[in-house]
Structure 1
Amino acid sequence: MQTVESNEKQPLPEGAPEGHRAGFVNIIGSPNVGKSTLMNQLVGERISIINRKAQTTRHRIMGLVNEPDWQIVYSDTPGVLDPSYKMQEGMMKFVKTALQDADLILLVTDIYEDDLAHPDTFTKIAAMDIPVFVLINKIDLTDQEKAMERIAFWQARLPRATVAPISALHGFNVDSLLERIVEKLPVSPPYFPKDELTNKPMRFFISEIIREKILTHFKQEIPYSCEVVVESYDVEPTIVKIRAEIRVARDSQKQIVIGSGGSMIKRVGTDARKDIEQFIGQKVFLELYVRVDKDWRDDEIKLRRLGYLD
């Protein structure tokens, strides 16, 4: 996977065809409305992890789609929330930056959401002088009457926006968005080389795959108290050896993650290894360890090292 080295919005030197279009298309919305599923559909790759639990996405993740005459830089962002600790404050800074550098906003809602739970964010989006698409997700879970009601609601709330029902999971109406997005992009050279796919390194995606399995196998506070750090990633001729550490906030959580006789961490490791092998296209040997790191979610130094804070 080719990755870019920077999040900075700086066009490359001239050299693109005349009339080339490029821009940042940033996905914003409440937790658990399907932003990451949409991101993966738009990019055509599994860039963002997906889970039914809210707050799955913690970082801003870019995915690039390139054609000779245009480049779209999509960004998946954490769901908008009221922060409870410093890690979540960092997550909301990613959202703030995405609002600032956007050339086009994809405001994702769903058929269950009457309004944005965070009116400050909605007010900022409504006042922006850039194109906004309101995408009403999970349209496959309702009838036509309810769908038309939601469309009318959002057209009244954001009269200048393009409002469209979609099903990110099934791809309904997603392909038809592309042409409309490209039409709205500013004329600009590309921001990144055309062979790049994302702004995140391989280790990030490995850690996210492992964290996705933690989200799948554990309930309550465990998934939200865990962080995964890839300590080593060694490529050998026939195998990739990966050592990763699962950090938890309390001793009791460590015992739960390990499980009786190591049963739970083995299950997480087996499922993660299979997905990592599919992701990188190579055989993988995965070692997982669990360590208690109390209050890491409120430790600014640790959060900087983990990429949550500047």
Structure 2
Amino acid sequence: MSDTQFHSGFVAIVGRPNVGKSTLLNHLIGQKISITSRKAQTTRHRVTGIHTDEHSQFVFVDTPGFQTRHRNAMNDALNKSVKTTLGDVDAILFVVEALKFGPADEEVLQLLPKHRPVWLVINKIDKHDKTLLLPFMQQMAERFDFAGIVPVSAEKHIQIEALLDAVRPHLPQGDPMYPEDQITDRSERFLAAEIIREKLFRLLGEELPYSINVEIEKYEQEGDLRRIFAAILVDKANQKAIIIGKGGEKLKRVSSEARVDMEQMFEGRVYLEVWVKVRSGWADDIRFLKQLSGEG
């Protein structure tokens, strides 16, 4: 397949929770647009990232990790999102962790369509003995008819260009769908909420409840100053105290670090106010889920 023509298409990034999909997306784009943490299930929205170069435009779709452990309406909606995404794209990156392939990975593998080119992306190769990678790659090649297998370290930016080179010729030939300097189709309002949510995951760690989200209640811009007012939504009253912390220390740190990241991303000053609200049962409220995702 010739690379002389411009190629432009949609590429899904799928895999079980916590294999590094969001980190991979951020390095493919060259800028952070999807949140990352060590806690599984940090991505709850489809986040579109765009990488444009001289020969191609990749429109990446970051999906939630397919979730089986915590069954509720929220995770059922996330799993449906994964399945829908796979039918809408031109190519798929199936991300697994080096030397690890378990039942959760197998469940995602079973969702992969046969009529789309699928690359196996073996992530976190920097954390393992390289001599064990080849046997693992051979075992994985027997599980599915992959278009290719690319070992990478998303965190260390190893083999990222090789992955782009492998996928590029398989995208449809055609003009770019977005301006060459655009890196996402998400609004600043959405990205602001994601930055706050990332700080919550990173600073609270295992203390953080699964039933949590961030809602931007007001977003105003005056010149290069953005005024952002955000509510952290929790399911139970006792979770509110966990997030606020003693003397408000944890919430202040979340707000301060989020504001710094926003100023860097938006290239302007940010005034940020963050508070915590209890909204019982929101994780099982389908109407509210649709509102959060912009569907309702």
* TM value normalised by structure 2: 0.92
Q: CA deviation at 1:121?
A: 3.2
Partner-residue secondary structure (3-state), 2:132: helix
Distance in 2, matches of 1:68 and 1:164, equals: 22
Distance in 1, matches of 2:177 and 2:59, equals: 8
Change (3 A) 1:118 1:159: closer
Change (3 A) 1:291 1:41: same
Distance in 1, matches of 2:20 and 2:218, equals: 32
Decide which moves more: 238-247 or 44-53. 238-247
Q: Is the 8 A contact 1:233 1:243 kept in 2?
A: yes
Q: Is the 8 A contact 1:246 1:291 kept in 2?
A: yes
Distance in 2, matches of 1:149 and 1:201, equals: 43
Q: Are 1:196 and 2:182 an aligned pair?
A: yes
Q: Which runs of 5+ in 2 are unaligned?
A: none
Distance in 1, matches of 2:105 and 2:53, equals: 36
CA RMSD across the alignment? 2.0
Decide which moves more: 66-75 or 175-184. 66-75
Q: Is the 8 A contact 1:209 1:272 kept in 2?
A: yes
Q: Which runs of 5+ in 1 are unaligned?
A: 1-17
Partner-residue secondary structure (3-state), 1:218: helix
Q: Are 1:43 and 2:29 an aligned pair?
A: yes
| Equivalent residues, number | 292
Q: Is the 8 A contact 1:116 1:122 kept in 2?
A: no
Q: Tell me what 1:26 maps to.
A: 12
Following superposition of structure 1 onto structure 2, how do residues 287-302 of structure 1 map, counting pairs within 5 Å? 287-302=273-288
Partner-residue secondary structure (3-state), 1:208: helix
Q: Which of 144, 165, 169 in structure 1 is aligned with 2:151?
A: 165
Distance in 2, matches of 1:153 and 1:115, equals: 13
Change (3 A) 1:124 1:253: closer
Q: Which of 254, 263, 269 in structure 2 is aligned with 1:277?
A: 263
Q: CA deviation at 1:47?
A: 1.2
Change (3 A) 1:116 1:167: farther
Q: CA deviation at 1:306?
A: 0.6
Q: Tell me what 2:171 maps to.
A: 185
Q: Is the 8 A contact 2:12 2:62 kept in 1?
A: yes
Distance in 1, matches of 2:105 and 2:166, equals: 27
Q: Is the 8 A contact 1:151 1:164 kept in 2?
A: no
Q: Tell me what 1:77 maps to.
A: 63
Q: Is the 8 A contact 2:99 2:132 kept in 1?
A: no
Aligned-residue sequence identity (percent) comes to 39
Q: Which amino acid aligns with 1:124?
A: L
Q: Tell me what 1:110 maps to.
A: 97
Q: Are 1:96 and 2:83 an aligned pair?
A: yes
Partner-residue secondary structure (3-state), 1:253: helix
Decide which moves more: 238-247 or 297-306. 238-247
Q: Is the 8 A contact 1:62 1:74 kept in 2?
A: yes
Q: Is the 8 A contact 1:91 1:308 kept in 2?
A: no
Q: Which amino acid aligns with 2:115?
A: D
Distance in 1, matches of 2:104 and 2:211, equals: 24
CA-to-aligned-CA distance 1:74-133 (integer Å, 9 cap, x gap): 1111111125111112211221121101211100001242245154431232x5222111
